[in-house]
Structure 1
Amino acid sequence: MASTLITAPNALLTPDGQPATSDWSLTADKVHLNHGSYGAVPRVAQEHQFLLKAKMDANPCTWFMGQAAALAGTRAEIAAFLRVDANDMALVPNASAGVSVVYNSLTFSRGADIVTTDHAYGAVLEGARRVARECSGEVRVAVVPLDADAALSCELVMAQVTERTALIVIDQITSATARSLPVLEIAQAARELGIPVLVDGAHAPGAEAAPVPDFEGFWVGNLHKFACAPRGTAAVVARGPLRKHLHPLIDSWGFPHEFPESFDHVGTQDITSWMAAKTSFDTIETRYGWDEVRRYSRTLADYGAAVIQDAFSAATGEDAAVDVGMPVGQLRLIRLPKGLATTHEDSHAVRAWISDMLNFETAITTFGGAGYLRLSTHAYNTAREFEAFAERAVPELLRLARLR
C-alpha cells in the first residue's frame, strides 16, 4: 500500500548496512509504533548501564561515597546535550518528578490559582489540583482547540490569568494531542505580569535540537523518550530568582547546597540510568546523526499518517485527518472511528486490544470525547510498519467500532 500524496522514505541503516532496529533490543513479535511514550534504549547504552550496575554492586561503599562527585560530571554531560548551562539544571527520575519539585518548592498564598490548558498531562494536572486544594485556590483551564495557532493559543491561556494567578503550567509538546504550544510567547506575557511559568517539556529532548526554550522560569523534560536514554532519566531547568527555592523531592545530604548542587545528593538511589545517558546520545549521533534522525522521523511520520488516514477515510467515507494547529515533527494524530476511545479508560482498553490481538504497540488517546491514534517515529521505524498497520489493524478497528 502506498499513499498517493507522500513518498515513503528509505529506511535508516547502520554504518555497516544493517536495519537500524538492530541497534535496539525491541522484541520482533510486536510492531513498535509508540516510541513517544516510553522510548527505546540502544543496546550499547543498556550494556553500559549493566556494567555500571556491576561496578556499583561490586563495592557499594566506594560507589555511593563518590556518587555526588560522579553526578556532577553526569549532569554536565546531559546539560550539554540539552544545550543548557549545567548550573541551571538538576536531574530527576522523570518529568512528573520535576513538576512535583516545582509544585512542592514554591510558596502559594491562600486563594492562589494555577492556570493550565485542557491539553495538560493528567498527572501534571492532578498535581496542580492538589496544590490548589491545599491553598484554597483553583486550577483555571484554558480550552485550546486542536487547530488553534500560536497567537490564539497564547490569547486563550492568558485570558485565564487573574490577579490570583500564582503559576502558569504549559505543555511544550502535548501528550494526548501531539501538538506544540507557544511556550515562549506565554512566558513573555507572563513575565510582564510577574507570574512564574512551568513548561512541561516531557517530549522535547531528542525531538528538538535545542529543546529548552530561552525563558526565565522552570522547564522539565524526559531524556528516556526521543533522546533514548535509559528510563528514569529526566531534567529540571530553572532560571531566575525563584530557582533558589527549589529543593529535591528527597531530603538527603544536599541540604547545605542550593539548586542544582542540592539535587546531586540522592542517597542510595540507583543513578546508573543517568550515567549511561550520554552513551545513548553519542550512539545515535555517531551512527546516524541526530539531525538526520529528526529529518527521517518527520518524513516518516508524514508518510505513516497519510497511509493510515487514507485507509480509515476510504473505509468510512469520513476524513480521519486531524487539523493540528502547531504540529510536532515526530508525532501525528489520526481520528479513530466514532465510539472508540471516547474516555481515558477506554483508550487504555483499545491500546491493550491492539497490542494483544494485532501485535502493534501504539498510543491511543482521548480528547474532547473523541478517540485518536497517536503515531510517533524514530530511527528504527520503517514505512512498511505503517503500511502494515493500515492493512491489518485499520479493518479490525473498524470492526471493533461497529461492535460497540
Structure 2
Amino acid sequence: MSETEVTTAPRALLLADGRPADRAWSLDPALRHLNHGSFGAVPLVAQERQQLLRGEMERSPVVWFPALPQRLAATRAELAAFLRVPADDLALVPNASAGASVVYAALTRRRGGEVLVTDHGYGAVTMGAERLARRWGGRVRTARVPLDADEDEAYEAVVAELGEATDLVVVDQITSATARRLPVERIGAQARRRGIPVLVDGAHAPGLVESPLADATYDFWTGNLHKWGCAPRGTAALVARGTLRDDLHPLIDSWGAGDPYPDRFDQQGTIDATAQLAAPTALTLVEDTWGWPTARRYMDDLADYGAAVTGAAFGELTGEDCRVDVGMPVPGMRLVRLPDGLAADRIEADALRDRVARELHVETAFTSFAGVGYLRLSAHVYNTAADYEYFAEECAPVLAEWARETPRKRSAR
C-alpha cells in the first residue's frame, strides 16, 4: 500500500445530532470492537423495538401467536425489498447455517452423492455438507482455491471439480475466514448448465453488498441480516428459486407445514420471532442516518486504513510484508498476516481471540488458512481510525512478543 493510504484516515461518521456514531449502540466502551463480522452489533433502537415486541408477546400470548404469521409475512416483504428479491422467494431463518441445514434436509441424491465445497467454506456449513454426503452414501469433494486467486483462477478451480457424481455445489459469496469473494455468478451458471443445484452461502453479504443476489445464478441463497445489517441476532434470509424450493421446510414442523413456500416458515410453534420483526428498525437506522451507500463507502475506506496501519505495525516488528492479496477483495473486510507462530489453525485462532479480548481488551477476529494465521478486520459505521491506530500501537507489539514466545513454549513440551 502507498504511504498515502497508511497516513490518511477517513473522517468518522456522526449521528444527526453530532454525537459519535457509536452512541447509537450499547457496546462496552472499555473494549475496542474490531470484529463486527462475527456476531454483528445491534443498535439501541432495534434493541428497544425488540423489547417492546417481547412485552407485547408476554402480555397477550394467545393473541400474539395466532397473529404472528401475518406480521412475519409483512416483515419478510420489507427485508426482501432491502435485498431486492421478490418476497415470495424469501423465507426467514435464524441464521445462514440454519438456511443451509434447511436445504440439506430437503435434497435427495440424484447422481453420485457428491457435495462440492471449497477450502474457504464456513466450517459449520461444511460440516452439514459432510453429514448430507454420509446420508447419501457419497462424499464431500473440496475445491482448492489459492488465497490470491483472481476471478478466472477461482472459477476454474471450482468447476474443475464438477463431475458426473456431483449432486450439490456449496460456495461462499464472501468467505468468512479469508475475507474474499468467490465468483458465485459464474460458478452457478456453469453448474446450472450441468443440471447441478447450487447453494450460495451469502452469510456476510446483506448490508455489505448493495444487491447481493442481482447477478447470481443459484437454486438457494442464505444470508445473515444480523451481521452487516445490524438486525437482532437470529435474523437471516433463505432465498430459493425454481421447483426445488417446494421441498424446503422449516426445521420445526408446525401448523403451517401444509402451507406453500415460504409461508410455512412464518409459523413455527412458540419461537421468539421478535428479532426478525425488529430487523427493519436496524436497517432503517443506517439508511436514515447516513444512507447505505455512504455507510458502505466508509466501512470500506476504514477497512483499508485499518489494514494499512496494522499491517505496517506488524511489518516493522517482524521485518516481513504483512499485506495480504486475497484475489477478489470485498468491501469492509481485510486480512493482515500475523507474525509466524500465531493462529496456525482454527483452535489456535479462537484461543488468540479470547486472550486478546481478556488481556488487551480488544474484540477482534483471528483466522487461519493453509496453516497461516491472519488478523481479520471487519469495520462498521461505529468504528473509527483511532480503533485501528490503538491496535497497531498497543496490541501489535504484544502479539509479536507472544509469537516470539510460542516456539519456546512448544519446544518445552
Fold-level similarity (TM above 0.5): yes
Q: Trace 1:292-303 onto structure 2 (pairs within 5 A).
A: 292-303=294-305
* SS in structure 2 of the partner of residue 5 of structure 1: helix
Deviates more, 1:206-215 or 1:274-283: 206-215
Kept after mapping to 2: 8 A contact 1:148/1:325:
yes
| In structure 2, distance between residues paired with 1:170 and 1:216 | 10
Which residue is 2:397 aligned to? 395
Shift >4 Å, 4+ stretches: none
| In structure 2, distance between residues paired with 1:69 and 1:300 | 40
| In structure 1, distance between residues paired with 2:363 and 2:3 | 22
Which residue is 1:330 aligned to? 332
Q: Once the 2 structures are TM-superposed, how far is the Cα of residue 65 of structure 1 from its aligned partner?
A: 1.1
Alignment of 1:369 onto 2:371: yes
Q: Trace 1:154-233 onto structure 2 (pairs within 5 A).
A: 154-213=155-214, 214-233=216-235
* SS in structure 1 of the partner of residue 209 of structure 2: coil
Kept after mapping to 2: 8 A contact 1:31/1:385:
yes
Alignment of 1:32 onto 2:37: no
Which residue is 1:243 aligned to? 245
Deviation digits for residues 170-196 of structure 1 (CA, Å, limit 9, x no counterpart): 000000000000000000011110111
Which residue is 1:357 aligned to? 359
Q: Trace 1:75-224 onto structure 2 (pairs within 5 A).
A: 75-109=76-110, 111-213=112-214, 214-224=216-226
Deviation digits for residues 240-261 of structure 1 (CA, Å, limit 9, x no counterpart): 1211111111111112212101
Normalised by the size of structure 1, how large is the TM-score?
A: 0.98
Which residue is 2:410 aligned to? none
Deviation digits for residues 246-289 of structure 1 (CA, Å, limit 9, x no counterpart): 11111111122121011111110000000000000111111111
| In structure 1, distance between residues paired with 2:143 and 2:217 | 21
| Percent of residue pairs bearing the same amino acid type | 56
| In structure 1, distance between residues paired with 2:68 and 2:14 | 37
Kept after mapping to 2: 8 A contact 1:3/1:303:
no
Q: Once the 2 structures are TM-superposed, how far is the Cα of residue 136 of structure 1 from its aligned partner?
A: 1.3
**Which amino acid is the alignment partner of residue 59 of structure 1?**
S
**Which amino acid is the alignment partner of residue 42 of structure 1?**
P
Which residue is 1:384 aligned to? 386
| In structure 2, distance between residues paired with 1:72 and 1:276 | 13
Deviation digits for residues 155-181 of structure 1 (CA, Å, limit 9, x no counterpart): 110111110100000000000000000
Q: Once the 2 structures are TM-superposed, how far is the Cα of residue 4 of structure 1 from its aligned partner?
A: 4.5
Kept after mapping to 2: 8 A contact 1:111/1:137:
yes
| In structure 1, distance between residues paired with 2:375 and 2:199 | 28
**Which amino acid is the alignment partner of residue 5 of structure 2?**
L
Deviation digits for residues 60-80 of structure 1 (CA, Å, limit 9, x no counterpart): 000001111111111111111
Kept after mapping to 1: 8 A contact 2:5/2:304:
no
| In structure 2, distance between residues paired with 1:49 and 1:375 | 29
Which residue is 1:49 aligned to? 50
| In structure 1, distance between residues paired with 2:218 and 2:118 | 20
**Which amino acid is the alignment partner of residue 332 of structure 2?**
Q
Q: Once the 2 structures are TM-superposed, how far is the Cα of residue 387 of structure 1 from its aligned partner?
A: 0.4
Deviation digits for residues 361-384 of structure 1 (CA, Å, limit 9, x no counterpart): 000001101110000001000001
* SS in structure 2 of the partner of residue 134 of structure 1: helix
Deviation digits for residues 198-219 of structure 1 (CA, Å, limit 9, x no counterpart): 0000000000111224424100
| In structure 2, distance between residues paired with 1:234 and 1:120 | 18
Alignment of 1:13 onto 2:23: no
Q: Once the 2 structures are TM-superposed, how far is the Cα of residue 111 of structure 1 from its aligned partner?
A: 3.8
* SS in structure 2 of the partner of residue 162 of structure 1: coil
Which residue is 1:272 aligned to? 274
| In structure 1, distance between residues paired with 2:329 and 2:242 | 30
Normalised by the size of structure 2, how large is the TM-score?
A: 0.96
Deviation digits for residues 13-51 of structure 1 (CA, Å, limit 9, x no counterpart): 011110000001100010000000011111011001000
| In structure 2, distance between residues paired with 1:367 and 1:339 | 13
Deviation digits for residues 319-363 of structure 1 (CA, Å, limit 9, x no counterpart): 001111000110000100101000111111111111111111000
**Which amino acid is the alignment partner of residue 165 of structure 1?**
T
| In structure 2, distance between residues paired with 1:363 and 1:138 | 31
Kept after mapping to 2: 8 A contact 1:3/1:310:
no
Long gaps (5+) in structure 1: none
* SS in structure 2 of the partner of residue 366 of structure 1: strand
Deviation digits for residues 70-111 of structure 1 (CA, Å, limit 9, x no counterpart): 111111111111111000000000000000000001112474
Kept after mapping to 2: 8 A contact 1:31/1:360:
yes
**Which amino acid is the alignment partner of residue 370 of structure 2?**
G
**Which amino acid is the alignment partner of residue 240 of structure 1?**
G
Which residue is 1:291 aligned to? 293
Q: Paired residues, what number?
A: 403
Kept after mapping to 2: 8 A contact 1:311/1:394:
yes
Which residue is 1:262 aligned to? 264
| In structure 2, distance between residues paired with 1:107 and 1:263 | 21
